[in-house]
Structure 1
Amino acid sequence: MPSLPFAQSSEPLRTPWGDPDIGGIWDYWTFTPLERPDEFGERGTLTDEEAATFAQEANAEALARDLAAPPGDPGAYSQAVWTDRSRATALTQASLIVDPPNGQIPGLTPDAVAREKGRLAGDGQPVRIRVGGFGTAGPEERGLAERCLLGFSTGPPLLPGGYNNNVQIFQTSEAVVLLVEMNHDVRVIPIDGRPHLNDDIRQWMGSSRGRWEGDTLVVDTTNFTDRTASFGITGLALGSAEELHLEERFTRVDNGRLMYEFTINDAASFVRSFSGRLPMNTSDLPLYEYACHEGNYGMENLLRGARAEERQALER
């Protein structure tokens, strides 16, 4: 990962056993777009005035979406959810992607493009997007978040979504644990030097191993399943994660801030590696339980409706 400068307090907090203390509940919501708008080119930061204007416009856009639905439109449940969107753009970054210098996700390799075309020309399996889907024959044709397998801001890497952008970090002398509020997913990251899982063992969130480099926790994750994307959030799914090597870095900047950085290394999917940076803020609010399928009638009704349409078609 490229060296990404940021101000850090001179005396980082320590655990009782001497490791840097990165524990707590951290909020990773931000206005900052994933990719840099074209008008900024390779300029990676905004002026204070640009950041304020950007936040104001984003707030106005979010408020407009929360207004009453047009006549005949029942709206959606999330229109009743209010999210604090008042914070300024994180460190006035122009994008979460900081490398390549233009702040854009690199292109897919020719092989990755060919594989995706072949998948879509066939039965569309596996479905790697988080939200949405390609059919209604069964749950396997719906997105991973709809199936409650991976939330749309669960990661890894950690990237903000519409809500539940919180992670609680626990530490022991042998492991660091990340509990993500979205879909209540847990990653246990050993830091005792043990090797990764055998290559034939594949997991939704991979096999993570950590180590301390000075005051920074460095996490290497491999062994992802090919049923998830190499890089994806919400409706975006790029490549296959089968060959993905993800590096993450956690550095406590001061009592109230944690710097999170990630690098995507996947030569089978992307023409080059790329990196992002996301400042997190401490939260004094609790982490709430995320109940995905309890009371979730969306999937059941979607499939039930599709079967009803099939019966109606046969009766015509």
Structure 2
Amino acid sequence: MTLRAAAISLSLLATLPAGLSHAQSDDLPRLANGQPDLQGVWSNKTLTPLTRDRDLGETLVLNPEQVRAMEQNHASFIDAEFAPSDPNREAGAGAQAGDDGDTDDGYNEFWKEVGDRIQVINGEPRSSIIVDPPNGQIPFAEGARLRRELPPGVSANDGPEGRPLAERCLLSFGNHSGPPMLPVMYNNNYQIVQNDDYVMIMAEMNHDARIIRLNDELRPEMNKWMGDSVGHWDGDTLVVTTTGFHPQQRVFGASQNLTVTERFERVSETEILYTFTLDDPSVYRQPWTGELMFNARPSDEKIFEYACHEGNYALPGVLAGARRAEAEAAMSANE
């Protein structure tokens, strides 16, 4: 079966309402203490974007034709990416010259693991992960500063301290490790380990591990990369509040006033409904909320090692280029 044919078959399944209704509480897997068991390896990959296509306005739920078109377009893109390249194309010509356009791509599709289906929640194919505001956009306040703050006296290319956190292998890119935990182009897997007092969530990318203390007080002065997280059970839903993000960790442009509230609700043997809300009055006009489905991975599939620095030439390359530019500028000034 071709990727395109597979996507067409999957898109028909995605429009059906079955399979995503909430499980009865008696059917949920539970620990000995009665709490729902969230443990296992989960994936949140999806073709549904975080923010909505503005042409869709306030349309959160897609119709079958829209789902089919989006999934078929993605499948066609994948088929084109895997098609043989023209061996006679001009080197470095780019898509404008009519070749396959791969000459300026850091990764080809073989290495990526983006979702190929629109996510369905409660039988509804969703146009965006964001469900509030109704337009599916992040409600940035006018004049909000969205750039990451650097330490005093440090510019982006002075040394490794000025480079982005993901480039330094300190944190996964694209807010994969969270909170909120969002899908990126690969490594969209998480392992959850749980006991009476803690819940640990390890993101596959960079092996970022977030330890959530249960029934404890927040310690925002810690300034952790992923913030300080505490949780409690609201019935069968785990509610987690996170504050105290590191000053260099600018989550969607938010300041150190950011509070993230997450809700984990196991709705079936194979699904966790993940809801998150970001609140920072200094950056956003209002709190904004998203919903995402975490799907269980097969028990025989393991999380891969993420060797971030292995073969990573970005950091020394950028810094070496900056030193070369400085040296050339100094020579020109002395001529």
Q: In structure 2, which of residues 77, 84, 87 is the aligned counterpart of residue 61 of structure 1?
A: 77
- Report the Cα offset of residue 65 of structure 1: 5.1
Structure 2 counterpart SS, 1:200:
helix
8 Å CA contact 1:230–1:269 kept in 2: the answer is no
Q: Which amino acid aligns with 1:290?
A: Y
- The answer to whether 1:100 aligns with 2:133 is yes
Distance 1:184 1:213, change over 3 A: same
Q: In structure 2, which of residues 10, 21, 25 is the aligned counterpart of residue 7 of structure 1?
A: 21
Any residues of structure 2 matched to 1:41-60 within 5 Å, and which?
Answer: 41-60=57-76
Instruction: State the match for 1:185 in structure 2.
Output: 208
Could you list the runs of 5+ residues in structure 1 that have no partner in the other structure?
1-5, 128-133, 232-237
Q: In structure 1, which of residues 239, 242, 255 is the aligned counterpart of residue 254 of structure 2?
A: 239
- The answer to whether 1:286 aligns with 2:319 is no
Instruction: State the match for 1:274 in structure 2.
Output: 288
Any residues of structure 2 matched to 1:228-267 within 5 Å, and which?
Answer: 228-231=249-252, 238-240=253-255, 242-267=256-281
8 Å CA contact 2:149–2:247 kept in 1: the answer is no
8 Å CA contact 1:125–1:141 kept in 2: the answer is no
Structure 2 counterpart SS, 1:162:
coil
CA distance in 2, matches of 1:60, 1:159: 25
- The answer to whether 1:24 aligns with 2:40 is yes
- Report the Cα offset of residue 138 of structure 1: 2.0
CA distance in 2, matches of 1:37, 1:76: 24
Structure 2 counterpart SS, 1:310:
helix
Distance 1:125 1:224, change over 3 A: closer
CA distance in 2, matches of 1:225, 1:65: 39
Distance 1:79 1:278, change over 3 A: same
Q: In structure 2, which of residues 85, 91, 97 is the aligned counterpart of residue 72 of structure 1?
A: 91
Distance 1:154 1:79, change over 3 A: same
Instruction: State the match for 1:150 in structure 2.
Output: 171
Structure 1 counterpart SS, 2:190:
strand
Q: In structure 1, which of residues 296, 302, 311 is the aligned counterpart of residue 327 of structure 2?
A: 311
Number of aligned pairs?
287
- Report the Cα offset of residue 313 of structure 1: 4.0
- Report the Cα offset of residue 213 of structure 1: 0.9
- Per-residue CA deviations over 1:178-203 (Å, capped at 9, x if unaligned) read 00001110001111x22111x43211
CA distance in 2, matches of 1:59, 1:140: 40
- Per-residue CA deviations over 1:26-85 (Å, capped at 9, x if unaligned) read 111100011112232222111223212111212333454566496433655522634455
CA distance in 1, matches of 2:270, 2:129: 20
8 Å CA contact 2:46–2:115 kept in 1: the answer is no
Q: Which amino acid aligns with 2:159?
A: G
RMSD: 2.4
- The answer to whether 1:194 aligns with 2:216 is yes
- Per-residue CA deviations over 1:204-261 (Å, capped at 9, x if unaligned) read 1110001111111110001112222242xxxxxx232x00110001111111111111
Instruction: State the match for 1:40 in structure 2.
Output: 56
Distance 1:271 1:49, change over 3 A: same
Instruction: State the match for 1:130 in structure 2.
Output: none
CA distance in 1, matches of 2:112, 2:316: 28
Q: Which amino acid aligns with 1:145?
A: A
Any residues of structure 2 matched to 1:150-229 within 5 Å, and which?
Answer: 150-152=171-173, 153-191=176-214, 193-197=215-219, 199-229=220-250
- Per-residue CA deviations over 1:279-313 (Å, capped at 9, x if unaligned) read 11111221111111233222112212322333344
- Greater radius of gyration (CA): 2
8 Å CA contact 1:260–1:279 kept in 2: the answer is yes
- The answer to whether 1:81 aligns with 2:110 is yes
- Of 148-157 and 181-190, deviating more is 148-157
- Of 158-167 and 60-69, deviating more is 60-69
Distance 1:80 1:12, change over 3 A: closer
Distance 1:86 1:178, change over 3 A: closer
CA distance in 2, matches of 1:299, 1:312: 20
- Report the Cα offset of residue 86 of structure 1: 6.3
